[in-house]
Amino acid sequence: MVGAGISGVACARVLAEAGLPVTVVDRGRRIGGRMASRQLMERPVDTGAQYFTVTDDRFARVVADLEAAGITRPWTDTFTVLSSGAAPTPKQGPVRWGAPAGMRSVVEALASGLEVREGAVEAVTADAEGLRVDGTPASAVVLAMPDGQAARLLGEGLSSLAADLTREWEPVLALTAWWPTRVWDLDGAFVNGDATLAWIADDGSRRGDGAPVLVAHSTPAFAAPHVPEPQAALPAMLAALQRMLGISSPPSGTHLQRWSMARPTGSRDEPFLLTPAGLGVCGDGWGPVSKVEGAFLSGTALGGALVTRLEAEAQHRRDARIRDDLLRAQAADQGEEHAFVRQLGFEELLED
């Protein structure tokens, strides 16, 4: 399992629960992927995934367990819509969920009991013997990551699969800014018609501790030219944030996070990719909607498909061993019969 975001961890959980050995490898010092949390002001701040919703029963059962453990909490069902030249308006929708210890804690809780290793994978290859990860044999390999990242890992024997991994992804810049006290009144806001910002969240409201911390996400169009040098975008993003919320005082501190592949564009109905060779790809780039829930369901579905395939292959190998044992036993029995016939002096019967 290459990638320890929520889709990779969800896939690994299904395999582990079926009794199959699985190793999760991630290049980050901590797992979580785009459900990342930064430690700022001595508290976690969600700079990646901002919240999640629950519509599927399978995901709902997992979230209920996480809520009972104090890992997740309902945040709000109402956001504000900010549009240039118009008064702020509330917009009600599904309940959005947050995590008191940050979104990363959700992935860490789901990964409990799994073998997770820190490390960078260079290439996944295939030969007559099967799949290999940096030369190490594997019965199956899952790339839980955006298409572009997965395609770059395809080595000898798999490079043609890059043609199936062409979904484009948009960049986003995440600005975190904090003040001595809260001087705004909103949980989260969709920003319409602004060239710089698309989203604003009150992280203290989301986390439940009331901290005076805001997180703002840029528009993809604003982020794209700033990907090489993201810090250069900070003044413009901060100015837009203060203008929209009417904050005149400077912040006590700021932080800027670059997400080169923040979210996929377009659509894709297939929940995952699984090749005959046993290479799988999953994540929020698969399935009809790109969300935290969608990533979880993509990994879960791929895990189920892999369990079915790997168990069938194991049964086939067991059946083959039994067949070979029977053939060897029959050959041994036949050899004993021939030796007995020779002992009696009736070799001509064997010639017939």
Neighbour-count burial of 28, counting CB atoms closer than 10 A to its CB (0-12 exposed, 13-18 middle, 19+ buried): middle
Task: Tell me how far apart the alpha carbons of residues 57 and 295 are, in angstroms, rounded to a whole number.
Answer: 15
Q: Domains of the chain (ranges plus CATH)?
A: 40-48+75-97+169-265 (3.90.660.10)
Q: Examine the pLDDT at 347 and tell me if it is beyond 80.
A: no
- pLDDT tens digits for range 116-154: 999 999 999 999 999 999 999 999 999 999 999 999 999
pLDDT tens column, 199-249? 999 999 999 999 999 999 999 999 999 999 999 999 999 999 999 999 999
Q: Is 56 helix (H, G, I), strand (E, B) or coil?
A: coil
In the structure, what pLDDT confidence band is assigned to residue 72 with cuts at 50, 70 and 90?
very high
Determine the Cα–Cα distance for residues 303 and 153; give it in Å rounded to an integer. 20
- Amino acid 342: pLDDT: 63
How far apart CA 66 and CA 352 sit, in angstroms, is 75
Residue 91: predicted pLDDT: 96
Please give the pLDDT value at position 214.
Answer: 98
pLDDT bin (cut points 50, 70, 90) of residue 328 is confident
**What is the pTM (predicted TM-score) of this model?**
0.89
Q: What's residue 124's pLDDT?
A: 97
| pLDDT tens for each residue of 248-285 | 999 999 999 999 999 999 989 999 999 999 999 999 99
